Amino acid sequence: VADSAKKDAAKADTTCAPAYGPDLLINDGTSDLGDGVYNTDATSQTVAHTTDPSVAVTYPIKLPNDGNTEDQYKVTGPAGNSDWQVQYLVHATSADITTDVTGAGWTSPSMARGEEVALDLKVTPLSGADGNEVRSVLVTAASVADGAKKDAVKADTTCAPAYRPDMLINDG
């Protein structure tokens, strides 16, 4: 016989765990490469250009928050050297963040889900760069909240050969 005065109840709470998701994209001049591709070696996220000595190539980079919660990202990349200038800029303001990126890393502003920050990577072969020399620049972004969540893009810049014939006249 059922007792209608006895009752029971259960409550279940479900929480969606935060998922952190840096997703670097690099523009090849026509479209952004790397959307939804996540790796640290820039597979399917690499752009290549050839330029003359002392002529910069600008690679537009986007960093959207593909996670499901607010996050910041630490962006790192290599510095230039005596043969190549490598510069990192915030696209919207042209602020030079090279020292931060090539040091401990530049930390993005806090971004809500779906927000993004745009950067510019400028690579210039200097007078010491050899013709057909390639400078590869791997840029990495890591979640500040979960450093294991990373993505990378790569720019391969080739210094075009400079042919300069120099004829001498021997007068003797």
What is the value of pTM for the model shown?
Answer: 0.88
pLDDT for the residue numbered 1:
58
Mean pLDDT of the chain: 93
pLDDT for the residue numbered 2:
65
Of the candidates 69, 59, 68, 48, the residue with the CA atom closest to the CA atom of residue 24: 59
Rounded Cα–Cα distance for residues 96 and 27 (Å): 20
* Cβ contacts of 37 within 8 Å, gap of 6 or more: 23, 43, 44, 45, 151
107-162 confidence digits (pLDDT tens) = 999 999 999 999 999 999 999 999 999 999 999 999 999 999 999 999 999 999 98
Residue 55 has pLDDT above 70, yes or no: yes
Mean pLDDT, residues 95-101 taken together: 98
Mean pLDDT, residues 27-54 taken together: 97
